[in-house]
Amino acid sequence: MPMPQDYQIAQQAFDALIADARDRLGLATRNQSYTVLQAVLTVFRRRLTPAQILIFADALPALTRAIFVAGWHEGEHRAGFGSRTALEAEVRDLRRHHNFAPEGSIRIIAGVLRRHADADRLAAALAALPERARRYWDA
């Protein structure tokens, strides 16, 4: 079996995603965009069970998937999604002194992710998650 295309084009796909994120977030660098992407993914991951994390991870592009699960440990779990305001504050809190997340970062990254992930795989993964988890990704 040949190497899956997801892995063959992983870097090009990630470059396109991070450039799209940079432009839509209004940021200057890839590093700033990466931090916001990582924060949005981490805040979401903290609210999922291990099984839900794996379901969602499987729907992500290869390098985004790696970011989503990197550093994961069960002890980080936080119950409930809370308000959008609280979630946005938590996004800005990741590496606070190097985080340039603008207001609405979750919504912006949700739109970017929807443009760069396989739509059917993402829809199936989100359908398998609780409603509050699905709403996190409303673009």
CATH number of domain containing 102:
1.10.490.110
pLDDT of residue 72: 96
CB 25 within 8 A of CB 33: yes
Judged against a pLDDT cut of 80, whether residue 65 lies above it is answered with yes
Check residue 34 and give its pLDDT. Answer: 97
The pLDDT score that the predictor gives to residue 128 is 98
Domain of 55, in residue numbers: 7-70+79-136
Strand positions, DSSP E, the chain: none
User: Residue 10: its pLDDT value, please?
Assistant: 92
In a domain, 2, yes or no: no
Residue 32 lies in a domain: yes
Closest CA to 94 of 31, 40, 33: 40
Say whether pTM exceeds 0.85.
Answer: yes
User: What band does 81 get if pLDDT is binned at 50, 70 and 90?
Assistant: very high
CA 117 to chain centre: 11
pLDDT (average), residues 44-49:
96
Placement of tokens 């940079």 in the chain: 22
Cα Rg of the chain, angstroms: 14
pLDDT of residue 79: 79
17: in domain = yes
19 within domain boundaries: yes
Task: Kindly report, residue by residue over 9-44, the tens digit of the pLDDT.
Answer: 899 999 999 999 999 999 999 999 999 999 999 999
Structural domains counted in the chain: 1
Is residue 23 within a helix (H) or strand (E), and if so which, with residue range? Answer: helix 10-25
